Amino acid sequence: MNEGMNAYFDDGVDYPLTSTSGTLLDEILPFGTMWSYVSSTFANGLLNCGKLRHAVLLNRYNGMDNEEEGFSYGGEKYHTKRATINAWKSDTNPFHLDLSRFGDDVLIVNHLGDNAYLYIWLDCDVSDCIVGRFRTDDSADKIEAALIASAIAGAQGYGHSENTPVILDVNHIRGWISF
C-alpha cells in the first residue's frame, strides 16, 4: 500500500457507501435527513447504493404522448415518452439503464438493509435533486404508496402534467443505473 499516492494514506475503504453503518454515507447523510437542491452528480453517486426497491417516473415535464425530440433508448430515437418506455419494456436484456432517457423526473427508493432506505428524487433540470435516508418498519406497499404520493404532489402545477406517475418495474432494471 505504500506505492505512489497510497503512501499518503493510512487506511483504505472499499465501497464506502454500501453499508448501513460506519461508512461515509453515515457521515454525510444521517438517517432522518433529506437534502434538497443537490446536483444530479451527487445523486448519481448514491443511486446504486443498496438494492433498488421502487422506481416511479413522473409526468412533470412531458406527458406520456407529447411529441418531443430527444427521447432515446438502445440507440434508437423516439418522439414520445410512452414509445421510449415501451422500447425499454420490450428489451430482453436491459443493462446499465440511463433513467434520463425517459425525459422526466424519477423517484427511487433503495433498501440499504436493517429497515434502512435511501430516497432519491432525480430532477431533469439536474440541480434540484433530493436525497434522504430513513428507517422504517413500514411495508413495501406503504413505502411505494408514499413514493407515488410524492410523485403526484411533485407533478402538480405543471401545464402538461398528467399527474399519473408510471411505476417502473424494478426487476427490469439491471446493472449500473445512472441519470
Residue 19 lies in a domain: no
Which structural domain range is residue 122 located in?
37-172
133: which strand partners?
33, 118
- The string of pLDDT tens digits covering residues 155-164 is 776 665 566 8
Would residue 163 count as lying in a domain? yes
pLDDT at 7 > cutoff 80: no
Is residue 10 domain-resident? no
- 96 assigned to some structural domain: yes
Number of domains composing the chain: 1
Q: Is 152 within the bounds of a domain?
A: yes
- Grid cell 434540484 is found at 128
Residue 23 contacts by C-beta under 8 Å, 6 or more apart in sequence? Answer: 13, 16, 17
Q: What's the pTM value of the predicted model, to 2 decimals? A: 0.80
Q: Answer yes or no: is 125 within a domain.
A: yes
- The Cα-based distances of 127 to 19, 35, 39, 41, 121 in angstroms read 26, 12, 4, 9, 11
Residue 57 placed within a domain: yes
**Does some domain include residue 83?**
yes
The residue to which cell 427511487 is assigned: 108
For 71-117, write each residue's pLDDT tens digit.
Answer: 776 777 777 888 888 887 887 776 788 888 888 888 999 999 889 99
Q: Tell me how far apart the alpha carbons of residues 62 and 178 are, in angstroms, rounded to a whole number.
A: 20
